[in-house]
A = this chain, B = another copy of it.
Amino acid sequence: MHKQILDVSKRRGIMYPSFEIYGGVGGFYDYGPIGSRIKKNIEDLVRRYYIIEEGCFEVECPTLSPEAVWVASGHVSSFSDLMTECLKCGEPYRADHLIEEHTGKSCEASDMSAMDELVKEYKIKCPKCGGGLDRVYSYNLMFQTFIGPGKNKEVAYLRPETAQTTYLGFRRLWEIARKKLPFGVIQIGRSFRNEISPRQGMIRLREFNQAEIQFFVEPDGKYSPRFDTVSAIKAKVIDKEGRESSLTLKEAVEKGIVKLQMIAYFLGRSLQLFKEMGINPEALRLRQHKDEERAFYSTDTWDIEYMSSVFGKIELVGVSDRTDYDLSAHMKLSKQDMTVNYEGRKFIPHVVEVAYGIDRPFYCVIESCYREEGDRVFFSFPEDIAPYKAGVFPLVGKDGLPEKAQQVFDLLKKEGLYVFYDEGGSIGKRYARADEVGVPICVTIDYETLEDDTVTLRDRDTKKQDRVKIDGLCKAIVR
């Protein structure tokens, strides 16, 4: 299936590797004309959930930030992977991945010398050229550059996450929120990780898109007044000991598996969101971070993973208790006060973070919605996610039908709808082309239209055809 999805993606402009004419560079993808619409719709759906429904603020901060930000956050000292390079051809490898691939076992070693030992013990060579491997060393995953020219230039990094840039503005956001807790702040934008050797298509990108939400709360305020709206959602749950179960979110909280009700709430909201995007809910599971993988300051962290038939497990969102760790760190380095006086107490707010990728859910939408029915290939995108609301076709290219179809097309455009016009080839071919990019409705203008101002609506999923008046067309399309 993967090959077919990639083929249609490239051919029809969903997504394709960047810089192809210069031989490509791993970890970069373009969103094409169809993909960019789907991505935009995914982002707007996230905005609806978090800005309209949850009442969050949105901010947009630079992706390039001075060094101090990443010193405070800990990324300069410890956002790194252990790597080795071939002494002969120079090919770089993530040391743990190389050891795992060679031994077939998960790599238990976590420091450089232990990994060096394993490379020696198993006589691991460069998989590409057979050359010997250099010593394992620590490699920081941030892209470094300099702001400003000459002697006064400052070290800067492309952000590896949006979260820190949101925290920097906390004092302003606190004032804008009129000094009340809780409040949430979403940031949707690019982040960057200079991966050593990305080989998983859109799943591991060096430049990627995120939607990260920071909820600033009282230290003992990690619950949601709307938990009952999601508490009955049932999900596959894997706890930090690796135990699997199928539980409602209510049960997961009551049994103490999910420690904070607020985390359970946003896991529930995320399940709703992914379903609404068109991601197969059966392929999703909640996974708690193990003690050793969780950040030391966090009391609890959960991911939602999608089980892909191509890439295996894909992390789509992380929901975590970040406590007052980040604000405290910035307060310490910047000497700016991050404490608040609220309801008679003075404290540094805690943060519960809901951190979505955008590119990964995008891929999972594509994979989940791909359908083959005999010769027919289509994407069953939900209407709010589909790249176009409708296609408009004259049945034939003569007898005034194209002119009438143009009028209908103009009418829909005036309503601000993303629609397209197609008069090339047989009507069957045009349906097939629309199916291939998941357009939910095709509107055909035929001879009857000239007589009674009705058009044919053809449904993508059922292939059923209906006639409606042009008058009621908008309502029939935006259901």
B-binding residues in A (CB < 8 A)? 10-13, 16, 18-22, 25-33, 35-37, 39-40, 48, 51-53, 55, 57-66, 68-69, 83, 85, 90-92, 139, 143-152, 154, 156, 158, 165, 168-169, 171-173, 175-176, 178, 185, 190, 192, 194, 196-197, 206-207, 330, 333-334, 336, 413, 416-420, 424
**Taking the nearest CB of chain B, how far is it from the CB of A23, in angstroms?**
8
- Beyond A21-B336, A149-B194, whether A31 also contacts B60 by CB under 8 A is yes
* Inter-subunit contact A58/B85 (CB<8 Å): no
**Taking the nearest CB of chain B, how far is it from the CB of A390, in angstroms?**
12
* A66: B residues at CB distance < 8 A: 19, 22, 25
> How many Å lie between the Cα of A91 and that of B150 in the bound state?
9
Pick 11 A–B contacts, CB within 8 A, sort by A.
Answer: A11-B175, A18-B61, A18-B168, A19-B69, A40-B58, A63-B207, A90-B152, A146-B194, A147-B194, A148-B196, A158-B158
* A55: B residues at CB distance < 8 A: 420
* Least CB separation from A197: chain B residue: B148
Nearest 6 interchain pairs by C-beta: A33-B57, A31-B60, A13-B176, A21-B334, A90-B151, A36-B58
- Beyond A65-B19, A207-B63, whether A424 also contacts B178 by CB under 8 A is yes
* Inter-subunit contact B418/A52 (CB<8 Å): yes
* Inter-subunit contact A32/B169 (CB<8 Å): yes
* Least CB separation from A187: chain B residue: B36
* Inter-subunit contact B19/A149 (CB<8 Å): no
> How many Å lie between the Cα of A31 and that of B60 in the bound state?
5
> How many Å lie between the Cα of A33 and that of B334 in the bound state?
23
* Inter-subunit contact A59/B83 (CB<8 Å): no
- Beyond A59-B31, A154-B25, whether A149 also contacts B64 by CB under 8 A is no
**Taking the nearest CB of chain B, how far is it from the CB of A351, in angstroms?**
16
